[in-house]
Amino acid sequence: MDYKSSGVDIDAGNETVRRIRRLAQATFTPGVLSDIGSFGGLFKIDTAAWTEPVLVSSADGVGTKLKIAFMTNRHRTIGADLVNHCVNDILVQGASPLFFLDYLATGRLSPDIAEQVVEGLAGACQANGCALLGGETAEMPGFYADGEYDVAGFIVGAVDRARIVDGRTIAAGDVLIGLPSSGLHTNGYSLARRIIFDELKLKADSHVPELGETVGEALLRTHRSYLNVIRPLLARGQIKGMAHITGGGITDNLPRVLPAGTAARVDRTTWRVPAIFRWIGESGRVPEYDLRRALNMGIGMVLVVAPGHADAVRADLLKAGEANSVVIGDVIAGEQDVQYV
């Protein structure tokens, strides 16, 4: 008995690292001081870029969206989903990403699939100006089913202490500006899969007239990064708070940035819910309350600004490339919840 016959292929692992190295090196920024394959990643912070730098970190995964990748054998978008989700999570506190680490675990390592995942990671890191500093690829036979894997991401960014966005100045009367999502992003897939594959008996390659595309295409649409349209606005200091709309929807995520004594009032008629959400809800006869907590319903990021700054912020968003921002409601007195009207 040797290690390979027990299920762990060291040669496949080495081949994976060889392929990953060139992809990661393409993301390296001036702060990177180490190469892929080191025991730890080294990164030098450019302290001249900040007056009082504060590090901001986050970790996340992409949930059961992975099941759609397995069905379609399309793995590049998964890496981009992971990076963009993590970028958005630290962006809401005003931080810009510095570096990213990934963890990929599988039962039987396929260098081809691992390379596809990392291509997505590297491409998204480059788009966000973030270095893919390192990570871990684990082969765990007997733990994952053949052809399946899990992936998680870890991000570190920085923000000037004086520029931290934490919602503490939010007050009744402030305006809620919603930015559109690109689809389900990385949340609600357990509900979507139950309805689409178990109840409707569709396949990933089934064409859905209501969507104008296949199930797989709709569900694998990449989680959007909001960094490049929001970062140009941060220096003005006009954004009081931000909420990344992930699991829990607007209902559970927006209250996370509201101070005590305030609540959010959201007008459901201010934006048209995209077809994918309407189709899932109608096909599964899902109560609206449950839909709003499982899915983002077409709004992936919410900004909170003073009423006198709302027009200027939307104009700045337009200049940065966001043409579809919409005022979705306001802040009212209350107990840190969301009231829909």
Task: Tell me whether strands 131-139 and 96-106 are parallel, antiparallel or unpaired.
Answer: parallel
Q: How far apart are CA 220 and CA 283, in angstroms?
A: 19
- For residue 3, pLDDT beyond 60: no
- Over residues 123-150, mean pLDDT: 92
- Torsion sign (Cα): 267, 278, 84, 26: negative
* 3-state class (DSSP) for residue 205: coil
Tell me the H-state helices in the chain.
10-25, 66-72, 76-91, 111-127, 189-193, 215-219, 227-234, 249-253, 275-284, 288-294, 310-319
Query: Which residue reads 């048209």 in tokens?
Result: 272
- Torsion sign (Cα): 211, 216, 217, 218: positive
Q: Compute how many other C-beta atoms are within 10 angstroms of the C-beta atom of residue 312.
A: 14
In this structure, what DSSP letter does residue 239 have? E
* 3-state class (DSSP) for residue 61: strand
| Identity of the highest mean pLDDT range in 16-25, 42-51, 262-271 | 262-271
Confidence of residue 150 (pLDDT cuts 50, 70, 90): very high
Chain centroid to CA 252: how far?
16
* 3-state class (DSSP) for residue 57: strand
- For residue 243, pLDDT beyond 60: yes
Structure tokens that stand for 45 in this block = 């912070």
What percent of the chain shows pLDDT beyond 90? Answer: 85
- For residue 6, pLDDT beyond 60: no
Q: Among 165, 166, 174, 167, which Cα is nearest to 331's?
A: 174
Structure tokens that stand for 181 in this block = 């999502």
Q: Tell me, what's the pLDDT at 37?
A: 80
- Over residues 103-117, mean pLDDT: 91
Confidence of residue 275 (pLDDT cuts 50, 70, 90): very high
Structure tokens that stand for 340 in this block = 């829909």
* Per-residue pLDDT reduced to its tens digit, 306-328: 999 999 999 999 999 999 999 99
- For residue 291, the one-letter residue type is L
Domain 175-340, classified CATH 3.90.650.10, yes or no: yes
Kindly write down the DSSP assignment for every residue of 114-183, as one continuous string: HHHHHHHHHHHHHHTT-EEEEEEEEE-BTTB-TT-EEEEEEEEEEEEGGG---STT--TT-EEEEEE-SS
- For residue 186, pLDDT beyond 60: yes
Q: How far apart are CA 170 and CA 331, in angstroms?
A: 8
Domain spans of the chain, in order of start: 10-163, 175-340
In this structure, what DSSP letter does residue 336 have? S
Q: Tell me, what's the pLDDT at 109?
A: 83
In this structure, what DSSP letter does residue 249 have? H
Equal CATH topology for 10-163 and 175-340 = no
Task: Tell me whether strands 131-139 and 239-244 are parallel, antiparallel or unpaired.
Answer: unpaired
Q: How far apart are CA 341 and CA 328, in angstroms?
A: 10
What percent of the chain shows pLDDT beyond 70? Answer: 96
More confident residue, 20 or 299: 299
* Structural contact between residues 168 and 261, judged by C-beta atoms closer than 8 angstroms: no
Q: Tell me, what's the pLDDT at 8?
A: 61
* 3-state class (DSSP) for residue 288: helix
Q: Which CATH architecture has domain 10-163?
A: 2-Layer Sandwich (3.30)
Angle at which helix 310-319 crosses helix 227-234, to 10 degrees, equals 130
Confidence of residue 30 (pLDDT cuts 50, 70, 90): very high
* Structural contact between residues 18 and 112, judged by C-beta atoms closer than 8 angstroms: no
Q: Among 120, 141, 114, which Cα is nearest to 132's?
A: 120
